[in-house]
Amino acid sequence: MCGHFHPLNTPSSPPTMSKMANEEDLLRSKALHGCTWEETGHKNSFIYKLAKKNHHILQATFERYMDSWKEGQVEDESDAKAKRLSAHTTIANSYYDIFTDFFEYEWGPSFHYCRFYPGEPFRQAIARYEHHLPAQMAIEPHIKVLDIGCGVGGPACEIAHFTGAHITGLNINDYQITRAKQHRANAGLEKQIDFIKGDFMSMPFDSESFDACYAIEATFYAPSLEVVYGQVYKVLKPGGVFGCHEFALTDNYEPTNLEHRRIVRGIELGTGVGQMKTVKSCLQALGHAGFTIEKYEDLAANDDKIPW
């Protein structure tokens, strides 16, 4: 977790995504997901959703996604990684258009890892993990909080219940925003949570808009940590706090080790991330953005009986 006390003093109007690009994304996503776009109740089943997709668009989306990993070899993939980073929005959208329903079916509305105690139910462990971060950040009722890369809204709903804060979820994917709004309605939190479409590399908010910001395994999708952390710094109010559960490579990673690089490439392909970052680069990027790091820990380095 990290915090800061001196936000940037450069006022600016909120940047916005291209209106045309927004509309194209929305139309494509609605065409892909078909009548499942806003289905609720008994028709919300996984098999029903898969059956009702536009399979031609789904196949094209899958091929577009896989094309991003065809170039380059593990031994020397620098150019291919650069291309993936430049196309991070398209890759992330394709990935989540393909896999969101699978994740919800298997994982529920919270797409992240967590620690487990022996015998602890899965949903309870997920909720405990989602309570830990706002507790460390000392999030209080009624303050304005930004959820960066909010997925389908599971953490936002849990943290809103837990803290009483007002949550704004930011997401680049139209289908996930639609799913998040359904989860919000099911939880009766329409007045406490908003979901906004936007790119966290160019956030659609004024400077000093939020009392706190958090990201749960989301900002590792950013092509530049310095940029996304800088955007977080900009939208925080003076004295605000940023809590981040980052998905990063530990110091054990050896970039000259071919097997390590193969494993990392598999993670990147399996998560839709253009390039994994190291813990060191995350900490450096936070400092460059202006943050003072108050607490940092490797949550996976522990003596738990059940592995991370």
Measured between alpha carbons, how far is 66 from 29 in angstroms, rounded to an integer? 18
CATH of 2-289, one of 2.40.50.90, 3.40.50.720, 3.40.50.10490, 3.40.50.150: 3.40.50.150
Q: Which helix (H) or strand (E) holds 280?
A: helix 279-289
What pLDDT shows up at residue 17?
A: 52
Measured between alpha carbons, how far is 54 from 52 in angstroms, rounded to an integer? 7
For every one of its 308 residues, what pLDDT tens digit does the chain have, with 9 covering 90 and above? Answer: 444 433 333 334 344 456 666 777 777 777 878 766 565 544 467 788 888 889 999 999 999 999 888 865 555 677 888 889 899 999 999 999 999 999 999 899 999 999 888 999 999 999 999 999 999 999 999 999 999 999 999 999 999 999 999 999 999 999 999 999 999 999 999 999 999 999 999 999 999 999 999 999 999 999 999 999 999 999 999 999 999 999 999 999 999 999 999 999 999 999 999 999 999 999 999 999 999 999 999 988 888 888 77
* pTM summary value: 0.87
Measured between alpha carbons, how far is 69 from 54 in angstroms, rounded to an integer? 24
Measured between alpha carbons, how far is 182 from 52 in angstroms, rounded to an integer? 18
Find, among 57, 21, 67, the residue nearest to 174 by Cα: 21
Q: Is 74 helix (H, G, I), strand (E, B) or coil?
A: coil
